[in-house]
Amino acid sequence: MDIDLDFLTQEITEQLSAGDFAVFRGHPGLGAEHMPMIMWDTERFPDFRGFLNAARSCGSRMIIFSSRVFQADWVEDAEESLEQASFTREEHRTVAAGLRDLRAHAGQTCAIELSFCHEGVLYLYEAATDWYENYRNYEELLDASFGEEDDDDSPSLGGSYSNN
């Protein structure tokens, strides 16, 4: 089942206000590459409240909160790349159909991050929709077809993304 991150964003915002946290609105993935990081196990413990309780328990008062909204032009860019990709006819059809399906999600929240720093370590909670993970898979397939690595201008979560 896919998660409604627009609803979850509202819940998180309410919880942060009620928990007396200072909220810093950041950009997804920025700054994470310069310090040690530990990811919250969202697969076994998906409720963000446990993450906030951990932050509160160690005395952290500031939570960095960021979200990513899915953009229609990401699909358009991927479709342009698809036209130049070296895929078989079947692979091309499969990716094209998947990208068309993704257009329906334009304007929806596709990924969120909560994080806090404690003793030089960044603690990170990430959640992403299943359809955004599909998009990222198509993006990786397209990049691989050109022999490219994921670049800094990509709409990814800045290299810190996890499937947890």
pLDDT in tens, 13-24: 999 988 789 999
- Residue 159 counted as domain residue: no
Confirm whether 139 is domain-assigned. Answer: yes
Provide the residue range defining the domain that includes 140: 5-145
Contacts of 7 (CB under 8 A, 6+ apart): none
28 falls in which pLDDT band (50, 70, 90)? confident
| The predicted structure's pLDDT at residue 9 | 93
**Does 162 reside within a domain?**
no
Residue 36: inside a domain: yes
Residue 135 inside a domain? The answer is yes
Q: Categorize the per-residue pLDDT at 32 as very low, low, confident or very high, splitting at 50, 70 and 90.
A: low
The total domain count for the chain is 1
Task: Provide the pLDDT for residue 30.
Answer: 61
Per-residue pLDDT, 146? 80
Q: Does residue 153 have a pLDDT over 80?
A: no
Between residues 60 and 156, which one has the greater pLDDT?
A: 60
pTM, to two decimals: 0.79
Q: What whole-number percentage of the chain has pLDDT above 70?
A: 86
pLDDT tops 50 at residue 154 = no
pLDDT of residue 119: 94
Residue 40 lies in a domain: yes
How many CB atoms are located within 10 Å of the residue 121 CB? 12
pLDDT at 160 over 60: no
- Positive or negative, the CA dihedral 18, 24, 26, 29 is negative
Residue 156, domain member (yes or no): no
Rounded average pLDDT over 107-134: 95
Reading the block at residue 74, the tokens are: 């990401």
Residue holding tokens 């334009």? 106
Please give the Cα distance from 29 to 157 (Å, whole number). 5
- Whether 140 maps to a domain, the answer reads yes
